[in-house]
Amino acid sequence: MKALFVAAKKIFGKVDLTSLDSIKEDSISLCYSIQFEELAKEVEKYLNSKIIDENQVLGCSSPSFSERSKAILIIGEGEFHPVALAYESGLKVYVFNESGLKEIKESQVEEMKKREKGAYLKYLSSKRIGVLVSTKPGQQRISRAIDFKKNTKDKKIYIFVANDINVHEFENFGLESWVNSACPRMDLENTYLININSLNSRQRKQ
C-alpha cells in the first residue's frame, strides 16, 4: 500500500518576534517542522544575517549544522526533540513559537545523559536483547540490526520488525534490554532503550 504524505500548515495570527532579541549568539542554525514553515520564514527575515543555515526537521531526523553555528533555534512546540538536539550537538538550543522564546536548560540535557547511561549499564548486564527495526521510510535499518546480531557474541539477540513500535508491549517478551535502530530519538525518551549508533560508538571506545 502506498502512503501519501500531506503537509499540514499551522495558521498564525500576529506573532510577537521581539523576544528573539534576547538571543545573544550571532551565528544561528534555524530548524522548523513543516507545520511552522510560515513562522520560520518570518523569524528568518527578522533575524536576518544571524541565520547561517536552516533545516526542516522531523521527529526522527538528525539534522546537520554548520561548523560556524553557535546556537540552534527551533520553530515548533514541545521540548523533547530540542533537548535531544542540545544533547547531540552540544550547542545552545532555543525554542520559539507563538507563546514566545524558551531556552533549553543544561539540567534538561544532563537528565537525558543520565537516562542514556542507565540504559547502557542495563544493556551491559543483560543477556537477552531485543533489537527494534522499523519498516517506515527513513527509519528502516535491517542490515545494521543483522550486523549487530552477528557481531555480538556474548548475548542472545532477537530482532523485532514492525511498522508501529509500542514500547508498552516490551514486557510481553521477557527480554532484559532493548537496542533501538529505528527513530534515533526514541531511546532518549525511554530508560530501557539504547540507540544502536550510540552503542556501537561506546563499544569502539573500549
Query: Which tens digit of pLDDT belongs to each residue from 77-110?
Result: 888 788 888 988 899 999 999 999 999 999 999 9
d(CA 47, CA 41): 10
Examine residue 119 and state whether it is found in any structural domain, yes or no: yes
Cell of 38: 510560515
pLDDT band of residue 199 (cuts 50, 70, 90) is low
Assess whether 194 and 125 both reside in one domain: yes
CATH classification at residue 186: 3.40.50.11860
Examine residue 82 and state whether it is found in any structural domain, yes or no: yes
What is the reported pTM? 0.76
Render pLDDT for 133-149 as a digit per residue (tens, 0 to 9). Answer: 888 776 778 898 999 99
Examine residue 7 and state whether it is found in any structural domain, yes or no: no
- In order of 59, 113, 118, 170, 177, the CA distances from 162 in angstroms are 18, 27, 25, 13, 18
Contact 71, 82 (CB under 8 A): no
Which residue carries 544571524 as its cell? 50
Assess whether 84 and 116 both reside in one domain: no
What is the domain count for the chain? Answer: 2
Last residue of a domain, one of 104, 129, 148: 104
Assess whether 23 and 59 both reside in one domain: yes
Residue 204 has pLDDT above 50, yes or no: no
Assess whether 27 and 98 both reside in one domain: yes
Contact 190, 182 (CB under 8 A): no
Structural domain span for residue 50? 18-104
Residue 1: the pLDDT is: 61
Cell of 39: 513562522
Residue 88: the pLDDT is: 84
Residue 200 has pLDDT above 60, yes or no: no
Examine residue 88 and state whether it is found in any structural domain, yes or no: yes
Question: Which of 155-159, 164-168, 179-183 is predicted with the least confidence, judged by mean pLDDT?
Answer: 164-168
Assess whether 121 and 76 both reside in one domain: no
Examine residue 1 and state whether it is found in any structural domain, yes or no: no
Neighbours of 169 (CB within 10 A): 10
CATH classification at residue 60: 3.40.50.11850
Assess whether 180 and 138 both reside in one domain: yes
Examine residue 11 and state whether it is found in any structural domain, yes or no: no
Helices (H), the chain: 37-47, 80-89, 106-124, 142-151, 186-189, 196-205
Assess whether 75 and 47 both reside in one domain: yes
Examine residue 78 and state whether it is found in any structural domain, yes or no: yes
Assess whether 195 and 146 both reside in one domain: yes
Last residue of a domain, one of 104, 132, 164: 104
Render pLDDT for 28-64 as a digit per residue (tens, 0 to 9). Answer: 999 998 889 999 999 999 999 999 998 887 656 667 7
Assess whether 122 and 193 both reside in one domain: yes
